[in-house]
Structure 1
């Protein structure tokens, strides 16, 4: 296994490494071209509509006149011929031509088919409308896709670093792609990269366990086709270990601050201990969780308030 096949196999096996370019500027450039094309068509349609308003005022209010200006039959004749009953069908499946035509005209493209079948392309304004319709469909499709692309997440920095390393290391990817697209993952295009299934950015303690402690345990050799020296880890075990550590710290830290304050004798020392424990608590929140700044401030304020209440309710030796 080599080349694109090997790279695709890695991305399929570990989807966090499915990192590809979004081609933002090309997509936006395409949207701008489509927008420009539609703008010109819009002006042309406006001019044609104004011309028809003066020469054929019925076309502004009658679709038949707009789409079939050279038709030998008028709209009433079309309606009469479209309501004949098809008697060749069984009674339970009898269906008028009008009903079938109603079902047939479910999309604008069906109307175009009918016009071509009759050998008539309609007025110049109608032909411009059909041209504009195709451009609008293409523009709307590209616009909705770009909205989706713009909301795709960035790759995890750690995963991107591994992928770059995998590409160049002889025992792993060994430069599997040598064409112009080999530079797709280089730093100059990093802002244009999107992840198909990114991993959430872990908190600091999870990252430390993952990079320092956990590699020594529970590692299983990966498929040799992906390269040498690649191991997979039992992530649920890492999550369990981190959860236990965080839970123990969350339970012990408030109690520890209360015990220390209880044994301290003077108020200045107690106040200093309160400041120290509040700082440790805030640091623990920042390291062990992904809490936002406002959440860290709120939790630290509540922790400090509990210590202050305990401090004011204890008997201390106050200097006279």
Structure 2
């Protein structure tokens, strides 16, 4: 998503939730599918479920302790044998009924708690929206007045409580991709609700293709270029300067054009420098020619 582009035909005007839903759905990359995750409420709900389950666990422990301390051999046998407990339950035994109902409640609460844990784990893995998209969304959403009224108008207030749907986080965050997104031509644009700003949309795939193409060209140059140059250079001092310069350029390109971590940048740079050093130490450009004489 970007701005400052030429005008396209104005889409059918809508109002309220219909307008916001249309605006979200227009983005082909799903970058505008931004919603609240209600982190505090989710945590509080988990805490309540956890406490409820802990209370049931405590109650079950008390029943187990009663069975262990009891002199009733039938009760002890029911604690060890499922068939005996079923028989006591069928006979109307109160202790068997209480334990059976407690276990049934534990099953329900435990299932609810486990499902909540798994769902919260999935929500925690969702990516946060980029600041670029969030700024555009807020610009459109809030001006000249909030697109939605009531409590809904505060949905974008807390950036730490927002998640992005429909993406796997594969959008590149390297500096080259970020730079291209700022100036990339857009295929569609619309007038913001305030009538003063234009919001443009572009395909994230086109950015990925451009970054990949540039990376291939730069990588080819950084690999072939120094080898060709070093082949024609005789001075050792000049060779060292060339190796140092290309190594620095390689490290810079990896840092700017990829999402590699610092450790990965160091490792790749060391491997690249090793290749150049091996080439220089081989002295391919000045190896003496082997002469073969043919005797009579």
Tell me, yes or no, whether TM beats 0.5. yes
Mapped partners of 1:276, 1:192: distance in 2: 45
Pair 176,280 (structure 1): closer, same or farther in 2 beyond 3 Å? same
Moved over 6 A (4+): none
Which of these residues, 194, 202, 208, is aligned with residue 233 of structure 1? 202
Name the counterpart of 1:142: 116
Aligned partner of 2:20 in structure 1 is 7
Q: Which residue of 2 aligns with 1:86?
A: none
| Structure 2 CA distance for aligned equivalents of residues 38 and 128 of structure 1 | 11
Q: How many residues align?
A: 260
Aligned position for 1:45: 60
Q: What's 2:187 paired with?
A: 219
CA contact (8 A) 2:247 2:273 kept: yes
Deviations 1:128-171 (A, max 9, x none): 2233333223222222212222222222332222222221233x
1:207-230: CA deviation from partner (whole Å, max 9, x where unpaired): 222212x22xx52335999x8723
Q: 2: CA distance between counterparts of 1:66 and 1:144?
A: 37
| 1:240-273: CA deviation from partner (whole Å, max 9, x where unpaired) | 3333222222112233223433454532232122
Offset of residue 302 of structure 1: 2.5
TM superposition shift of 1:274: 1.4
Measured in 1, the distance between the counterparts of 2:203 and 2:51 equals 53
- 1:60-114 per-position Cα deviation (integer Å, ceiling 9, x unaligned): 222323432329xxxxxxxxxxxxxxxxxxxxxxxxxxxxxxxxxxxxxxxxxxx
Aligned to 2:78: 59
**In structure 2, how many angstroms separate the alpha carbons of the residues matched to 1:300 and 1:181?**
50
Q: Does 1:267 align with 2:260?
A: no
**CA deviation string 1:1-48 (max 9, x = no partner):** 222222222223322111222222322222222222222222223333
Matched, 1:158 2:157: no
Segments of structure 1 that go 5 or more residues without pairing to the other structure are 72-119
Residue pairs, 1:167-206, within 5 angstroms: 167-170=141-144, 174-186=145-157, 189-198=158-167, 200-206=171-177
- Max Rg structure: 1
Structure 1 residues 41 and 242 mapped into 2: Cα distance closer, same or farther (>3 Å)? closer
TM-score, scaled to structure 2:
0.74
Aligned with 2:121: secondary structure?
helix
Per the alignment, do residues 256 and 201 of structure 1 end up closer, same or farther by CA in structure 2, a change over 3 Å counting?
A: closer
Report the Cα distance in structure 2 between the residues aligned to 1:310 and 1:137, rounded to whole angstroms.
64
Q: Distance in 2 between matches of 1:166 and 1:271?
A: 55
Following TM superposition, by how much is the alpha carbon of 1:194 offset from its aligned partner in structure 2, in angstroms? 1.6
Q: Which has the higher contact order (CA 8 A, sep 6+)?
A: 2
Report SS of the residue matched to 1:155: coil
What is the TM-score when the length of structure 1 is the normalising length? 0.69
The residue number in structure 2 matching 1:123 is 97
Aligned in 2, Cα 1:280/1:39: closer, same or farther, shift over 3 Å?
Answer: same
Query: Once the two structures are superposed, what CA deviation does each residue of 1:157-194 show, in whole Å capped at 9, x if it has no partner?
Result: 32222222221233xxx4112323433322xx322222
Moved more, 269-278 or 293-302: 293-302
